Amino acid sequence: GAVVSQHPSRVICKSGTSVKIECRSLDFQATTMFWYRQFPKKSLMLMATSNEGSKATYEQGVEKDKFLINHASLTLSTLTVTSAHPEDSSFYICSVTGTSGYNEQFFGPGTRLTVL
């Protein structure tokens, strides 16, 4: 399967600041990456689909101006949480599709965001 990294693994920021999270596909060129959000003891919630070279597709209820996604290359997608507030504190996880096609998704290790 694909190997996916995320950076940073943990970030603490002050309310009102912006935070950028990187998702890298280390051994696979991913035309599509996905961004998820997970609250404690809850399941994963898809936020957006990140498409290389084009605009991301956001799920209903996810503010695109709040969560900026850039997929500038086949190995890197970034999620920027703009003007972060405490309610944005969460576990953010990205995934990429596997080499066999879109059926399998391989996940990164996640980024824990805490907004004070």
Chain residues binding another protein by CB under 8 A are 1, 4, 6, 32, 34, 42-44, 46, 49, 59, 91, 93, 95, 97, 102-110, 112
- Token duo for residue 66: 């709040």
Strands in the chain per DSSP E: 4-7, 10-13, 19-25, 32-38, 44-51, 57-58, 67-73, 76-81, 90-97, 105-107, 111-115
Rounded least distance, CB 1 to another protein, Å: 6
The nearer residue to another protein, 8 or 16, going by C-beta atoms, is 8
Rounded least distance, CB 13 to another protein, Å: 19
Rounded least distance, CB 4 to another protein, Å: 8
The nearer residue to another protein, 54 or 103, going by C-beta atoms, is 103
Whether the CB-CB separation of 33 and 94 falls below 8 Å is answered with yes
DSSP classification of residue 99 = T
**Residue 81: helix, strand or coil by DSSP?**
strand
Rounded least distance, CB 76 to another protein, Å: 17
The nearer residue to another protein, 42 or 85, going by C-beta atoms, is 42
